[in-house]
Amino acid sequence: MTDERLVYKSGDFVPESEASLSIFDSGVGSGHMVFEVTRTFNHEPFRLTGPKSHLERLHASLRCAQIDSGMTPEELEAATFETIERNLHHFGPDDDFWINHYISNGTEGRPSVLIYVRSLAGVLAERAHFYDEGLDAVIPTQQSVPARLIDPKIKNTSRLYYRIADVQAKQVSPDAWALLTDEDGFITEGTGSNFMMIKDGVLISPEPRNILLGITRGGIIDVAERIGVPFEERNIEPYDVINADEAFFSATSVVMLPVRTVNGHPLSAEPPGPVYLRLREGFSEMVGFDFVSQARRYAGMLNREPAAV
């Protein structure tokens, strides 16, 4: 019996080393594919099912992208849980993982449905130091493709512009994350993350029109309501970000990472800022799990406890 993880692939479970997409798959050749990335906290998938969940969004993506998975929502959910179950023994009791869904129209009328799990250890170890130090946000020349052309609400794989934005941001600072804007110059999102800022005690998100409605973002909004941080969706300009009190990116893996500079300007509150910290701690409480400590543990950082926390 092999130790290899198993991947659900259009009805079968195959070893991960064999899990790949044909070069003739329409998802590969056209970026005509939708996906979801869910993470677990303490082995518990975060908002995988139910309202405002990853699977609900996946079905919305399929509908709008004109992809037919050939599976009912119930079948997809069952396959997901079976994938988790078959792989759970690969992860230690303190280890969490990603659950990935990739669905395309496949080849010759047969859809491709991939479900697989991956360890979070690597990515969390790499990013753990940002929890205290913060990231450099850089607004690149590359703009977001607006929703009227390719809707970012459809979580899809036609994302060449994300990669170009990343390269441009890294040219300014190797620690930079790209912070995209739309045609009107309003802030949209990161390249695979959402962005929010805090001004005068209010948590502010871009209006939803040109962004992915992140599941983690939804969780943070719930936390804000729970702990009494007022929340608003508003057009955000670079002017607003440069003059913000605090700011952060949110993403499935790390939940939320603070921003320390925007286009080279330090924000007024040094990261991690006070409201950011309250939200992050509120999130830990909501999911009943200290994901920051986990990340630090992955990074071997526990012994050099940062002063600020």
CA 225, CA 153: separation in Å to the nearest integer?
Answer: 23
Q: Binding of a copy of itself at residue 30 (CB under 8 A)?
A: yes
In this structure, which long-range contacts are made by residues 80-87, counting pairs with CB atoms below 8 Å and at least 24 apart in sequence?
A: 80/8, 80/48, 80/55, 80/115, 82/8, 82/13, 83/6, 83/7, 83/8, 83/13, 83/115, 83/116, 83/117, 84/45, 84/117, 86/6, 86/13, 87/5, 87/6, 87/117
* 75 binds a copy of itself, rule: CB under 8 A: no
Q: Is 265 in the site for a copy of itself (CB under 8 A)?
A: yes
Contact between 245 and a copy of itself by CB under 8 A: the answer reads no
**Around Cβ 274, how many Cβ atoms within 10 Å?**
12
Q: Which of 11, 63, 78, 302 binds a copy of itself (CB under 8 A)?
A: 63
Shortest distance in whole angstroms from residue 255 CB to a copy of itself: 21
**Shorter beta-carbon distance to a copy of itself: residue 44 or 183:** 183
Among 100, 119, 126, 286, binds a copy of itself (CB under 8 A): 100
- Nearest to residue 283, comparing CAs of 210, 203, 208? 203
Answer whether 283's CB lies under 8 Å from 220's CB. yes
For residue 279, give the H/E element and its range. Answer: helix 274-287
7 binds a copy of itself (CB under 8 A): yes
Residues 170-189 that bind a copy of itself (CB under 8 A): 171-172, 181, 184-186
293 near a copy of itself (CB under 8 A): no
Residue from 151, 257, 258, 276 binding a copy of itself (CB under 8 A): 151
- 3-state secondary structure at position 99: strand
Binding-site ranges for a copy of itself (CB under 8 A): 7, 19-23, 26-33, 35, 60, 63-66, 100, 102, 105, 114, 116, 139-151, 153-154, 156-164, 167-168, 171-172, 181, 184-186, 207, 209, 235, 237-239, 242-243, 263-265
